[in-house]
Amino acid sequence: MSQKPSVPQGTRDFSPVEMARRRYIFSTLEAVFKQYGFKQLETPSLENLSTLTGKYGDEGDKLLFKVLNSGDYLQKAPDELVQAKDSKELIKHIADRGLRYDLTVPFARYVVMHQHEISFPFKRYQIQPVWRADRPQKGRYREFYQCDADIVGSDSLLYEAELSCIYDEAFHRLGIPVSIRINNRKVLESIAIRCGFGETFRDFTVIIDKLDKIGEEKVAEELTALGGDAQAAVALLASKTFNREALDGLAKELNNEVGEKGIAELEELLSYLETQNLHNEIILDTTLARGLNYYTGTIYEVVAKSVKMGSIGGGGRYDDLTGIFGLKGVSGVGISFGADRIYDVLLEMNAFPELGANFTQLIFCPMDEASRLYSFKLASQCREAGIQTEVYPEPAKLKKQLGYADNNGIPVAVIVGENERESGALSVKFLQDGQQESLDILALINRLK
């Protein structure tokens, strides 16, 4: 019995054409990362569950893919938990590992484990898949790639500026006009304190993050329910072009200690950015909160201007991420690119450059068995010369062989039959314009090199 094949929900195959496009995104980002001196890192797909749980909140824990232990895992599980069907407790006994949920936490783990080999500040980039057991929908997959650039071991705001520039440069190179939204967690905290949400800061951020989605009135409603001065808070929430004027306006309102610290950070970041020639708009958005609660300073989010899609990048400063793994006082700042969403945006914008899946420059088309052997030999000569070469595997009809070349976008075909073999004068056909020439192998190689 044959079964209908399928892939798990939220996962996808990538065809050669799709891979060419994905490679284009990855290599564009990689080139920018390298330009700023980031070094590449990879970590295992599997992490110990203890590394992952509790780092992403209750929601995050639910979305973790857990991997069953090897062997007869139920044998070692406590009977009462199996009997009680208590999945939540039982899982701790039957699954020790899980698939990574993001790249930041594994990076923090890496830094702590290798702290004595690393010279700080350490700049690393990482391009790997992550997994979330989320319900798939547009722009949301269960397996997707993140492309992260982080720096640990420095609290200099120069790095915030560099990361802003990386966002700007990368999306410029990809041809996606974006808004780079920036905020500072301390500014947010200051607003919260000022308006009486100091005690309920977490909930406060969750609500205001929805501002552009549900509107001012709804947000005011929910904030009032939370118990605080909703009107005052809403008045302070705005998104403006990131410049001196906007900052000064904000500074006048936030004259408490946290606020002044946050404003000072934004000012320093701005003074770096003022020296740059940026392609995209930078927005100071005090409604930007971001879910992950470990951010402590600058936070980023990037949105494509021409396509409706969730954020295609995000990140921020976290003063003490490695603290949970026992290394205190190491500050980090990082950003992430959502490669799969960037792919969808480029596709929707029709903004991919012409990227054939074909790399073959030359194909030999043998007319008989002896020519096939002869072609195989000549092909290795071409390959040694650095020409990407194929040999058609059968001495089939020319129509078929040229059809293969045509369908695969191979630009040059060499027809080899008895005449060519004996004279060494190869019939070289250029498929784009249909021109045909007689060349010997050396002349052919020179022409294509």
Partner RNA sequence: GUGGUUGUAGCUCAGUUGGUUAGAGUGUCAGAUUGUGGCUUUGAAGGUCGGGGGUUCGAAUCCCCUCAAUCACCCCA
Residue 8 contacts by C-beta under 8 Å, 6 or more apart in sequence? 142
55 near RNA, judged by CB under 7 A: no
Residue 118 or 220: which CB sits closer to RNA?
220
Residue 153 contacts by C-beta under 8 Å, 6 or more apart in sequence? 118, 120, 121, 122, 330, 331, 332
Q: By CB under 7 A, what part of segment 310-329 binds RNA? A: 310-314
Sole residue written with tokens 């976008």: 409
Q: By CB under 7 A, what part of segment 267-286 binds RNA? A: none
Closest CA to 348 of 293, 395, 305: 305
Q: By CB under 7 A, what part of segment 186-225 binds RNA? A: 206, 209-210, 213-214
Residue 44 or 409: which CB sits closer to RNA?
409
Q: Which stretch binds RNA (CB under 7 A): 45-53, 169-177, 374-382, 430-438?
A: 430-438
The CA distance from 310 to 138, in Å, is 9
Minimum CB separation of residue 253 from RNA in Å reads 26
Residue 264 or 370: which CB sits closer to RNA?
370
What's the one-letter identity of residue 395? P
366 near RNA, judged by CB under 7 A: no
307 — alpha (psi -120 to 50), left (phi > 0) or beta? Answer: beta
Residue 254 or 292: which CB sits closer to RNA?
292
The CA distance from 37 to 358, in Å, is 32
Minimum CB separation of residue 77 from RNA in Å reads 21
Handedness of CA 132, 134, 139, 141 (dihedral sign): positive
Minimum CB separation of residue 6 from RNA in Å reads 7
- Cβ atoms of 19 and 26 within 8 Å: the answer is no
Q: By CB under 7 A, what part of segment 123-152 binds RNA? A: 132, 134-142, 144, 146
Q: Please tell me whether the peptide bond between 121 and the residue prior to it is cis, using omega within 30 degrees of 0.
A: yes
Instruction: Count the residues of the shown chain that bind RNA, applying the rule CB under 7 A.
Output: 61
- Site residues, RNA (CB under 7 A): 4, 6, 8-10, 57, 59-60, 63, 102, 132, 134-142, 144, 146, 206, 209-210, 213-214, 290-292, 310-314, 336, 338, 340-341, 367, 397-400, 402-403, 405-407, 415, 417-420, 427, 429, 431-434, 436
